[in-house]
Structure 1
Amino acid sequence: MSTGLRERLEALGDAFWLRPAILVLLGVLLGEGAVWAEQSGWAAALLPKGWLYAGGEAGARALLGAIATSTIGVAGTTFSITVAALSLASGQMGPRLLRNFIRDAGNQAALGVFLGTFVYALVVLRTVRSVEEGSFVPHLGVTGALLLALLCVGTLTWFVHHIASGINVETVIGTVHAELREAVARVTLDQPPDQPPDQPPDQPLGGPLGGPDPARFAMPATGAPVLAEAGGYLRALDEEELADWAAERGATLDLLLRPGDYVFPGVPVARVSPPAQAEAAAGPIRAAMSLGDRRAAAQDLEFAVRQLAEVAVRALSPGINDPFTAIAVLDRFGDVLCGMAGRHLPGRAVFRAGRAVLFRRAVDYDGLLDAMLHMLRQNGAGSAAVLLRLMEMLGAVLAVEQAPARRAALRRHAELALALGRQTLQEQAAVSDLEARHAALPRGA
């Protein structure tokens, strides 16, 4: 699947109205189809006669009116419950996690079922005519309304259970964890990436905390800049298309941003060599960039990481003081890091026909690890349970990770956790436990 298509599908998932709108349209079409089948004489062939509604015009109107009234009322209640759940999740787990509730297909489908039944009942109701008006009762349509009403009863029962379990913090953590695992599987590689001769695999591109390296933004002597026309978060970047363009033109592109960065208007987003190709490259580069008001998970590996970290940081705040939630997040981070063992992160260069045609700011292991653990460790200062679990998690990852550079990064975080525990833990027994776990960390290459 192309990068642009994946980003558009993710953006559609953020649209809460999409599934309800589809189900409303389906309700209209189903109602029209039921009336048509009745008028054309197909109703008896679709259902046995004993299964069809056998009442008259007055009963059909009363029944359809009751179904329409009740379902639109339940739809309003469903929307109110959803808003209440969003408010609770925003206060307890962070506003950025609202995206997961909005994207939830179950919430969207439940609202769509009620609204679709409502419009179905209205479509069928408008065709009911008394004897004075020509005497028409859509028996198949009324029967369908009864079946949809039963479906609504089941949907309401399921929705109450779904929304109650959906705001459970373990469920939220599990949802974000699954998204992070999918992102890792999509971004990482089974084989080492191609590298230019002077660029070893997994070479860190950022500063000591995984942020942008200021030296990367200095204009190369041989490159001409391409400036951004608009601002916003870089949601996706079609690097393969840009690499193909550069290969066809004999050019080299040096991208200065990566998905997740904020693009400022007028700031260089790429360098082009030879400089004469800069004007021709401006259009393809801007077309390959998908900007938006918020970050997206399609290519931004750190997006889901920061969502999980936010849950842990809020749980460790003095107002909540819930170390068990932070421990649950640490367990998920350990699961992801163990799953990355043996897999490779993309390299800096993209090659075509043996030539490096595009250089990018790739995600590096140090930066990813820093995004996972820095804020969590700092906010867990003084919590023996969190620091001990952090040390245990690092030990588990060290047991399966064989890459020397990654092991060094993991041990660096273990040293930071040990130093913090010695400074902030007030109970000597807790410090001794932390030191014992540190001493038990796997050694060697």
Structure 2
Amino acid sequence: MPESRRPRMLSPLREHLRETFWFAPTAGLVGVFALWLAAAALDTAIVDELRGGGRYAELGALSSITEDARTIVTTVSQAMLTFIGVVFSISLVAVQMASGQLTPRVVRLFIRRRINKLTLTVFLATFLFSLLVLTSYESETDPERIVSVPLVQSVVTLLLVALSLLLFIAYVTTMLRLMQVGPVVDRIVQEALRVVHRRPAGERHPAGLPPETGRVVHRGRAGVLRDVHVARLVRAAAREGVVLRLIPRVGDYLVPGTPVLAVHGETRPRPGEPLPGPRSGVLRSAVSVGSDRTFHQDLGLGLRQLVDIALRALSPAVNDPTTAVQCLDRIVRFLAVVADRPLGVVHHRDRHGAVRLVEDAPGWEDLVDLAFTELRGAAVAGPQVTRRMLAGIDDLLPLAPEERREPLLRHRALLAHAVEYTAPEPADRAFALEPDRQGIGRSGRRRTGG
């Protein structure tokens, strides 16, 4: 029985919000306003209790303490916005440097990191909360006439300042790691593997489909197919008693008029509502199109980014084969995870186990070609990369089932042929074709083990 699971209804919305940088700060500002109202109500309750008990001396002492804290709150409100501007200006410079050295797609890592959004949220929340607290201070000093003493609000402000300082340290650490190759490619492969683990596995022996009876075309703006709302499509197909087939792959570029969904099987008769018809709008709304590919359902995006970074590192303008070797390390890791996993066509089922949505996903050969085709052409001039690529292919061969070894053997043979054609000296050819997991880490003549 192939692995299957019921899709999460809100998973596309959740992932789309992760691709934005405005939602978390906006939600934080709303939350901090609610926090201020609660703290102000608590302060009012404290004043009422002290006044009701005739404890005016304690109320006066409390007012004196909060007046001392007022200076701190005022300083925080004045300095916080400037601090936010300086921190994130430096951050944008760091992101720009990272995108120039690695790939422009690395900006997505900055946007998706929770620590970045949390830091901006807390910084803005501290600034807004301090402004709101200042409105709660009173000029009245007579304990019998004091309406509110913002003690709790002042304490919360100080706690937010302390949290901001801790997050600033974590944020700087994250930004410094973003400028290093290793952490960036590690993050990319982690995102790619997360896609592998949360997607249903493909079918080893896909079942046939009923005859095609209709198609739904794309009517929105042109863009990349980011993902589809699987649960909505499954429900719509179950309601009509048909099977839907996603024609393009996630990551394909769509223009208006492109067929998106094929309907297989006869729909349940409903007078005046044939498919595709009025309900085809429901199906189109389940297809998300944007300007860039996302990790949510795109199995090949991680490999695409790793290959892009390696290709840029191997370009004559950069000439950094060690970065390409680091990318190959993660490419081999990704392929090792999916080597024995059913890939290709994915069947999404309804609650009764019936297939309702068929999705074409990259197969093993597609992923291997994506990983090695372009790199193989750029690597022939550098023995460090050819040696690492050969070692990676040799490591993958024992992990892949017999029927999946042909693409690996083909790329190995093509790489050997390209090196033999490029390197004029036999000794150079032999050295470049020696598998080595570090690229140039050890000589085959000195090797004593496998």
TM-score grouping bracket, smaller chain normalisation: 0.7 to 0.9
Aligned to 2:283: 285
SS in 1 for 2:295: coil
1:58-88 alpha-carbon deviations (Å, 9 max, x no partner): 5343221101112222111221122112211
1:228 to 202, 218, 237: 218
Aligned to 1:204: none
1:231-257 alpha-carbon deviations (Å, 9 max, x no partner): 321111245654564465454544321
2:178 to 166, 170, 173: 166
Counterpart check, 1:128 vs 2:137 = yes
- Asked if the contact 1:188–1:344 (Cα under 8 Å) also holds between the matched residues in 2, the reply is no
Aligned to 2:299: 301
Q: How far is 1:384 from its partner?
A: 0.6
1:138-177 alpha-carbon deviations (Å, 9 max, x no partner): 2232233223223323222332222112221111101101
Stretch of structure 1 that moved more, 418-427 or 32-41: 418-427
Counterpart check, 1:196 vs 2:211 = no
Paired-residue identity, %: 28
The one-letter code matched in structure 2 to 1:297 is F
The one-letter code matched in structure 1 to 2:276 is E
**Alignment: residue pair count:** 411
The one-letter code matched in structure 2 to 1:228 is H
Change beyond 3 A, Cα 1:248–1:155: closer
Aligned to 1:18: 23
Aligned to 1:5: 10
Q: How far is 1:223 from its partner?
A: 4.8
Q: How far is 1:323 from its partner?
A: 0.9
Aligned to 1:394: 393
2:335 to 334, 337, 347: 337
- Asked if the contact 1:383–1:425 (Cα under 8 Å) also holds between the matched residues in 2, the reply is no
Normalised TM-score (structure 1): 0.82
Change beyond 3 A, Cα 1:266–1:275: farther
The one-letter code matched in structure 2 to 1:180 is A
In the alignment, the residues of structure 1 paired with residue 164 and residue 8 of structure 2 have an alpha-carbon distance, to the nearest angstrom, of 38
Aligned to 1:181: 193
The one-letter code matched in structure 1 to 2:206 is Q
Normalised TM-score (structure 2): 0.81
Aligned to 2:156: 144
Q: How far is 1:13 from its partner?
A: 0.5
Give the superposed CA RMSD. 3.3
Counterpart check, 1:371 vs 2:370 = yes
SS in 1 for 2:380: coil
In the alignment, the residues of structure 2 paired with residue 42 and residue 384 of structure 1 have an alpha-carbon distance, to the nearest angstrom, of 77
- Asked if the contact 1:384–1:425 (Cα under 8 Å) also holds between the matched residues in 2, the reply is no
Stretch of structure 1 that moved more, 423-432 or 269-278: 269-278
1:415 to 409, 413, 416: 413
SS in 1 for 2:289: strand
Counterpart check, 1:77 vs 2:68 = no
Counterpart check, 1:405 vs 2:417 = no
In the alignment, the residues of structure 2 paired with residue 308 and residue 54 of structure 1 have an alpha-carbon distance, to the nearest angstrom, of 60
2:250 to 259, 263, 279: 259
Q: How far is 1:27 from its partner?
A: 2.7
SS in 1 for 2:398: helix
- Asked if the contact 2:389–2:435 (Cα under 8 Å) also holds between the matched residues in 1, the reply is no
In the alignment, the residues of structure 2 paired with residue 355 and residue 34 of structure 1 have an alpha-carbon distance, to the nearest angstrom, of 53
In the alignment, the residues of structure 2 paired with residue 336 and residue 170 of structure 1 have an alpha-carbon distance, to the nearest angstrom, of 15
1:312-358 alpha-carbon deviations (Å, 9 max, x no partner): 11111222211111111111111111112332114366678998766
Q: How far is 1:387 from its partner?
A: 0.8
SS in 2 for 1:279: coil
Q: How far is 1:121 from its partner?
A: 1.1
Change beyond 3 A, Cα 1:71–1:245: closer
SS in 1 for 2:300: helix
The one-letter code matched in structure 2 to 1:10 is E
SS in 2 for 1:400: coil
The one-letter code matched in structure 1 to 2:94 is A
Change beyond 3 A, Cα 1:148–1:35: same
